[in-house]
Chains A and B, each alone.
Chain A
């Protein structure tokens, strides 16, 4: 760590004969002492609770603070629970359909925004970012009121629509980045070779954009699966999602079963983030 902070380039190379200068003087002008250590602390702070949770989900004992050996019994108990399985299925269905909507909408918008630079395009880009600028609770209750007013009860469909709204900006960002990297000359070449605009999009733009779309889909899936606030406000008795189920479990008290279910949810998120990471690197 210290070695990497030492300025290597610039100035005369240090000779053995030269008097040894203290390390402090060798620190590159853009480096700050202790920032690396601080980074380490913060990473530990960010991961300690999650690691604790996962480790204790394998605890054989009934008590949270007491370690009684490794076992999978809480996972077995969790997965054998019918209502957990139902919640898990609901979560996945909502996430898949919300992502399908979000990715389609975001792809169409990204193509229009990146390839055109008018006022309407800039306004639309602001609109897409708007869900990030409003507290989720406000958006959730607003949506609830709208659905109640037009007599749409709580169903999986309303949940999917509400999720699609806040998933769209997350799907949009990687797609936009990927599209900006695709040279317009590729599309122009295709058109010179008598491609129709539809063919050009399907045969040239879309395949080049695929990694960006996959990355956007992964982010959108994570956002939907991990969402609590919107699902809590909008889901009725029959369409609980996993985070809402965990919430009701927590309110009844801390049990090792929550650890197991939470760890499963964390594992799912991690898998999707990994998917995002690899697909965004490819683009």
Chain B
């Protein structure tokens, strides 16, 4: 078969992907950016004139007489979302790294079973997983019932419908997304390098700090991004076990396409969210460059 023919076949093979993901992901995303720079129509739709009003209203509250005052509530929601997603990522890394390391040092047959064990909760419906925590945490939930049955009901502190519950729920949801990429990165790590470090009198801590962690940095970065991206857009966890009391980015976006019906504003928030993720995505690169300079 001629190479030109093979080339045509390859392009034909890739055409459906470009049609599907290009048409239903790239095109809509461009549309979001476009709509973010329009004005809200009189009947809730979009008025196609160029305007930065949606972005301005993220920061300023413009009155009818034209005076503007700084609107802190959206900044606060932005910071809360970023902080919760960042904290979730950090906790998942701390909790998940030892787990992934342990799995990666097992014989291959056992390793795949253990990875499946970690993956199953991830393959369960997000809503079901969060709802399960409601049964455990609530005022008449399992922990409360168990403690009061033991006569220690006073020990119980209800964290349901607080930011703590959101953090717990998000950590629970996204932990497998941290462990699995860490595992695949760690299992490629050559054990002889660790032995060599040990032979050269590196302490166990130094082996971890100077050998294992730098060599698995790409896996760590991948895991952090995989956790951070859904965490920053999560609106299910804050709605259900946050009781809807803590508004996050995702809630704000969903609101604009529901009851608030302000498309340009919703699109502007979505654009800010994508920018935040873009910034967070370059962070691992910067850190690696710093580390590379040190080493």
Is B31 in contact with A146, judged by CB distance below 8 angstroms? Answer: yes
Chain A positions 59-82 with a Cβ under 8 Å from a chain B Cβ: 63-66
Bound together, the chains give a CA A231 to CA B13 distance in angstroms of 29
A140 to B127, CA, bound (A): 17
- What residues on A are CB-neighbors of B25 within 8 Å? 130-131, 134, 139, 142, 165
User: Please, which residue of chain B has its CB at the minimum distance from the CB of A49?
Assistant: B132
Contact A53 B127 (CB under 8 A): no
- Given the interface pairs A30-B105, A135-B277, the reply to whether A130 lies near B21 with Cβ below 8 Å is yes
Query: Given A124-B17, A145-B32, A266-B128, is A138 in contact with B273 using a C-beta cutoff of 8 Å?
Result: yes
Interface residues of B in 1-48 (CB under 8 A from A): 1, 6-7, 9-14, 16-18, 20-22, 24-29, 31-32, 35
A189: interface (CB < 8 Å): no
* A39-B103 in contact given A168-B17, A243-B125 (Cβ < 8 Å): yes
Contact A39 B127 (CB under 8 A): no
**Inside 8 A of B117's CB, which chain A residues have their CB?**
43
Contacts of A43 in B (CB 8 A): 117-118
- B236's partner among A66, A146, A161, A229 (CB-CB below 8 A) is A229
A70 CA to B134 CA, complexed, in Å? 21
Contact of A105 among B17, B136, B226 (CB under 8 A): B17
Which of B65-73, B190-198, B283-291 lies on the face that meets chain A?
B190-198
Interface of B (DSSP majority class) = helix
Of the 9-residue stretches A14-22, A112-120, A206-214, which lies at the interface with chain B? Answer: A112-120
Interface string of A194-227 (1 = CB under 8 A from B): 0001000000000000000000000000100110
Q: Tell me the complex Cα distance, A273–B119, Å.
A: 9
A146, B250: Cβ atoms closer than 8 Å: no
Q: A146–B29 Cα gap in the complex (Å)?
A: 9
Interface residues in A123-153 by Cβ distance below 8 A to B read: 124, 127-128, 130-139, 141-146, 149
Which single residue of chain B is at the shortest CB-CB distance from A106?
B17
Contacting pair B14 A108 (CB below 8 A) = yes
Q: Are A105 and B10 in contact (CB under 8 A)?
A: no
Chain B residues with Cβ under 8 A from A247's Cβ? 127, 236, 240
Given A127-B22, A164-B20; A31-B28 close (CB under 8 Å): no
CB pair B198 A29 closer than 8 Å = yes
Task: Check A134–B20 contact: CB distance below 8 A.
Answer: no
Q: Is B102's CB within 8 Å of the partner chain A? A: yes
A162 in complex: contacting residue of B13, B16, B24, B132, CB < 8 Å: B24
Is A116's CB under 8 angstroms from B125's CB? no
Chain B residues within 8 Å of A144, by CB: 257
Q: Is the CB of B14 within 8 A of A124?
A: yes
Number of interface residues of B (CB under 8 A): 89
| Residue B224 at the chain A interface, CB threshold 8 Å | no
Q: Is B86 an interface residue (CB 8 A)?
A: no
Stretch at the interface among B49-57, B213-221, B262-270: B262-270
A165-B128 contact given A32-B208, A137-B254, A142-B29, CB 8 Å threshold: no
Residues of B with C-beta under 8 A to A149: 31
Interface flag for A238 (CB, 8 Å): no
Residues of A within 8 A of B208 (CB): 32
Whether B120 pairs with A273 at a CB distance below 8 angstroms is: yes
Q: Is A135 in contact with B229, judged by CB distance below 8 angstroms?
A: yes
The answer to whether B226 and A39 touch across the interface, beta carbons within 8 angstroms, is no
Check A65/B142 contact, CB under 8 A, given A43-B117, A105-B17. yes
B167 interface residue (CB < 8 Å to A): no
Q: Which residue of A65, A133, A228, A265 is within 8 Å of B141 (Cβ)?
A: A65
* Nearest CB of chain B from residue A73's CB, rounded to whole Å: 18
Asked if A50 is at the interface (CB within 8 A of a chain B CB), the reply is: yes
The distance from the CB of A245 to the nearest CB of chain B, in whole angstroms, is: 10
Query: At the interface, yes or no: B140 with Cβ under 8 Å from chain A?
Result: yes
Q: How far is the CB of B284 from chain A (nearest CB, A)?
A: 13
CB distance from A49 to the nearest CB of B (A): 3
* B140 and A63 within 8 A (CB): yes
- Which residues from chain B contact A266 at a C-beta distance below 8 Å? 124-125, 128
Question: Could you write out 13 A-B pairs with CB less than 8 Å apart?
Answer: A29-B198, A32-B98, A32-B208, A39-B103, A52-B132, A56-B135, A66-B145, A131-B21, A134-B25, A135-B250, A146-B24, A247-B240, A250-B131
Excluding A64-B141, A105-B16, A250-B240, 17 further A-B contacts by CB distance (< 8 Å) are: A29-B195, A30-B105, A32-B101, A39-B99, A50-B121, A65-B141, A135-B230, A138-B253, A141-B266, A145-B267, A162-B24, A164-B20, A164-B24, A228-B126, A259-B135, A270-B124, A273-B116
A-binding residues in B (CB < 8 A) = 1, 6-7, 9-14, 16-18, 20-22, 24-29, 31-32, 35, 95-96, 98-99, 101-103, 105, 114, 116-121, 123-129, 131-136, 138, 140-142, 144-145, 172, 175-176, 191, 194-195, 197-198, 204, 207-208, 225-226, 229-230, 232-233, 235-236, 240, 250, 253-254, 257, 263, 266-267, 270, 273-274, 277
